[in-house]
Chain A
Amino acid sequence: DAKTTQPPSMDCAEGRAANLPCNHSTISGNEYVYWYRQIHSQGPQYIIHGLKNNETNEMASLIITEDRKSSTLILPHATLRDTAVYYCIVSAGAFYNQGGKLIFGQGTELSVKP
């Protein structure tokens, strides 16, 4: 089973920031938080990952709480093309750990509206 909990759906106005929460209260010290998204039935698209520190890249920012039990993915200026299912995944990010498999939950369906 997935080790994360996400709201099933969220709405966001175009141009506004989308803040997607994720709870991972049982995360282990060596586990990373990964975010992927899936647009329609396309392949999951990697967004960002982090261990302890906040991370930012050209797509998004990831804010991880100090106790690492929750995190928030921020899309700073959401567009209609950001409408997708967003998955928060906790993983050791290492092939030696269960072959590196990612366990997907149901994710959050984000709808960006004009």
Chain B
Amino acid sequence: QLQLQESGPGLVKPSETLSLTCTVSGASLSSSGYYWGWIRQPPGKGLEWIGSIFYSGSTYYNPSLQSRVTMSVDTSKNQFSLNLSSVTAADTAVYYCARRGPNSGYSYYWGQGTLVTVSS
């Protein structure tokens, strides 16, 4: 059974970099055909797609965040990561990691989500 688990600081200071890791169990990150990604949800608001990464390292980012986002994979640890730089209070959200279906734009498997608050 595929499981994803987000980890990282729950509190980040304004202007600093938010860093999260998603640990995958039950499947190999290097399985062909799957994109792994991040989606966020500000408190009480809707869902925003941040970006996706293939096991090879190829990425798609949301243009609204592209200048501040970096994603990477570590197949040896079966993990992928999100870095979001120069954060502001507007980046306060629950961050979910997820896996898309094979050659699909839909997220079939999700982590439980982790709340990241940006505050001094």
Answer yes or no: do A and B interact.
no
Q: Which residues of B contact A (CB under 8 A)?
A: none
Q: Which residues of A contact B (CB under 8 A)?
A: none
